[in-house]
Amino acid sequence: MALRADLDIISGWITPGSRVLDLGCGDGALLAYLQDNRRVTGYGLEIDDANIVKCVQAGVNVIQTDLDAGLSDFQADAFDYVVMTQTLQAIYYPHRLLNEMLRIGREGIVTFPNFGHYQARIQIGLGGHMPISKSLPNEWYDTPNIHLCTVKDFERLCQQQNIHILQRNVVDHAHKTSLGMRLLPNLLGEIALYRFERKR
């Protein structure tokens, strides 16, 4: 089975043979791929019962937990990478979780929908309503997202939290990029992917 496009980008950032923790791992597709193709070991954290079953069926080590409870069960420097895809915006305290990711992992990787995308700006500015798009498909009243942010917001947070950004990739809803997105990431990128570490 082909890996989802955003997960394929992330897998290219992960060194073979490393230890990975996947926060909000869903059905375990990323970890299963990394185990089979990059000799990675690790765990997934997931809250949804149906996804837990899918992880077990895929041979992924999974722990059922709520990410808002924190990562205190894990020792410092237990992993090489801590990954969180499309979950940052659904966490109550994203800044705390980013710091926890870098306490227990050498590097962090996150992805999130970019609220600064021009279509979102048009829908708010001209339409006067919360944006709906392929990367933000829910109505305001039933969305799991509680902390939407822009590329600039995330990078400002990293600066405040003493986090060094190693790599950034912005893509559209189909996870394709362009020269325009690279030049104007906050305006043209629908989804942002970041790899980062603690500043030395």
Domain count, the chain: 1
Domain that holds residue 92: 5-115+147-198
Q: Quick one: average pLDDT of 44-58? A: 94
Question: What CA dihedral angle connects 50, 58, 38 and 83, to 10 degrees?
Answer: 10
Q: Identify whether 178 is part of a domain.
A: yes
Q: Identify whether 81 is part of a domain.
A: yes
pTM: 0.93
Q: Quick one: average pLDDT of 3-21? A: 92
Q: Identify whether 188 is part of a domain.
A: yes
Q: Identify whether 124 is part of a domain.
A: no
Q: Identify whether 54 is part of a domain.
A: yes
The percent of residues in the chain predicted with pLDDT above 70, rounded, is 99
CA-derived radius of gyration, the chain: 17
Three-class DSSP category at 63: strand
Q: Identify whether 30 is part of a domain.
A: yes
Is residue 2 pLDDT above 70, yes or no?
no
Helix/strand number for the chain, H first, E second: 8, 7
Q: Identify whether 60 is part of a domain.
A: yes
CATH number at residue 152: 3.40.50.150
Q: Identify whether 171 is part of a domain.
A: yes
Is residue 46 pLDDT above 90, yes or no?
yes
